[in-house]
Amino acid sequence: MIPMVNLKAQYAEIKAEVERGLAETIASCTFILGPNVQAFEKEAAAYLGVKHAIGVASGTDALHFALRAEGIGFGDEVITTAFTFIATAEAIKYVGATPVFVDIDPKTFNISPEAIAQAITPKTKAIMPVHLFGQPADMARIKQLCDQYGLKLIEDCCQSFGASINGIQTGGIGHAGGFSFFPSKNLGAFGDGGLVVTNSDDSAVKIKRLRNHGSDVRYHHEVIGYNSRLDEIQAVILRAKLKRIDQYNQARRHVAHLYSQLLADLPLTTPFEDGLGEHVYHQYTLLSDRRDEILKALQAKQIACAVYYPVPLHQQNVFKAECANVSLPVTESVAANCFSLPICPFLDDDTIREIVSVIRGVFAV
């Protein structure tokens, strides 16, 4: 069986370091907001080139707190993409705002700056691009719109840890960004975890409050907050993997480029790198009008494959009523034809060739 992500191979490589760190943490019996979370936050802030990095319980909470800290709330509109995981829109709903879904670029699948420009109204308060599949969105043009209209820019970086534009990491471009450490993400924990980043001291204070019951000083509470902290066990794992993240992302890029080279002559659309930023290939996603045949052939050979995402957010049951008049032709067409192949830093060239030969077989008949 070839999985989408080979987490076991990754564990084998970091096992000694992780087990030592875990044993020390368990022996110290300091589990919440201890030295490893503090150290990880410092190391992550340095890596990402931001002033503040605040560990939280999930990527979903990271996006929620980023929006709340930036003052987004009831009655506000937040322009975002429908071609993403549900959590992007859930975070907008949590603060009482309305997600306004706009169409994507047909090549990168990232939110279209032209579509954003057309959707801005007096109620628009923020733009929330997703760096989908690890490729940075067109931040120069999106930031220009934010500056022009006085909007907040909140980045969904849940799939883009380590991706950058002109040497600036995703998350450090807008007012705030949210990362996920779900196990299969580019930087994955051994459970749930997330991170909010910002260069604003004021926002950082608010985010730290929100994650810890609205409190700056223990048993003194300023606002209604949440119990949403990154824990020490996860911080130990994340510190070990953060040291190796560039190596992991380079290996992902190698996998992607070999796939694209080997698939180049087939009648399908391989991922497009727009060259505006460094793609870190959280997913390797293609388009084909014969998707279902390809998926069947791969499954028959015990090769994992997946569709991210089969139903865009405006067509989900939860949003159907409020999005009755929303039509996103590019998003809908991409959702109908996209599929993703296994990708991770530990996928070797021979296995990539094996996967490609199965796809080749579909087009040979």
Ligand X SMILES: *Cc1c(COP(=O)(O)O)cnc(C)c1O
**Residues of the shown chain interacting with ligand X in the complex, contacts defined by CB under 6 A:** 58-60, 84-85, 87-88, 130, 156, 158-159, 180, 182, 192, 194
Question: Contact 225/213 with Cβ under 8 angstroms?
Answer: yes
Nearest approach, Cβ of 57 to ligand X (angstroms)?
A: 8
Question: Contact 39/235 with Cβ under 8 angstroms?
Answer: yes
Nearest approach, Cβ of 292 to ligand X (angstroms)?
A: 24
List, in order, residues 6 or more apart from 150 with CB less than 8 Å away: none
Q: Is 217 exposed, middle or buried (0-12, 13-18, 19+ CB in 10 A)?
A: exposed
State which residue, 156 or 231, has the beta carbon closest to ligand X.
Answer: 156
Query: Across the strands, what pairs with 177?
Result: 155, 197
State which residue, 125 or 185, has the beta carbon closest to ligand X.
Answer: 185
Nearest approach, Cβ of 274 to ligand X (angstroms)?
A: 18
State which residue, 124 or 159, has the beta carbon closest to ligand X.
Answer: 159
- Reduce the DSSP state of residue 62 to 3 states and report it: helix
Chain position whose Cβ is nearest to ligand X: 59
Distances (CA, A) of 16 to 20, 36, 40, 240, 278: 6, 17, 19, 10, 31
- Nearest C-alpha neighbor of 142 from the set 102, 92, 202: 102
Distances (CA, A) of 250 to 12, 173, 255, 256, 310: 19, 22, 9, 10, 28
Tell me how far apart the alpha carbons of residues 214 and 210 are, in angstroms, rounded to a whole number: 5
State which residue, 194 or 225, has the beta carbon closest to ligand X.
Answer: 194
Nearest approach, Cβ of 80 to ligand X (angstroms)?
A: 10
State which residue, 180 or 212, has the beta carbon closest to ligand X.
Answer: 180
State which residue, 160 or 164, has the beta carbon closest to ligand X.
Answer: 160
- Nearest C-alpha neighbor of 207 from the set 221, 197, 193: 197
Nearest approach, Cβ of 192 to ligand X (angstroms)?
A: 6
Nearest approach, Cβ of 363 to ligand X (angstroms)?
A: 30
